[in-house]
Amino acid sequence: MGYAHYLTMARHKEFDETEALEAAMHTFWSKGYEGTSLHDLESSTGLTRTSIYNAFGNKRQLFNQAITHYHRTVLADLMETLDKAHTIQEGVKKFLNGIVDLHFREDTPGGCLVVLSV
């Protein structure tokens, strides 16, 4: 194969995009948007700046994707408790207990990602 062939081959990603997004989400969650530097994101995701830009775009775009990921994972689990409840009271109680549990877990920062990032 010639050199030109190697230049045109698509490079496959050597990392799990979901894991990187999860790491970025936790970084934004603990430091807020303004408090998170690209160096912080490189450290937490294990990616280079170039890989971050290629996979997610700029910091704002990565933050938006992290918020979407937060809604699809963290908040979706909480909302599911409301859907599965037999009564409104049961649903609200389980929802609020879920929020308390979430904020006291060791693997999540206290507070809401969206609120902490404002």
Class of domain 13-112: mainly alpha
pLDDT for residue 12: 54
Q: pLDDT tens across 101-115, in order?
A: 888 888 778 778 888
Q: What pTM does this model have?
A: 0.77
For the residues of 35-97, what is the DSSP string, one character each? Answer: H--HHHHHHHH---HHHHHHHH-SHHHHHHHHHHHHIIIIIHHHHHHHHH-SSHHHHHHHHHH
Taking the domains of the chain in order of start, what are their residue ranges? 13-112
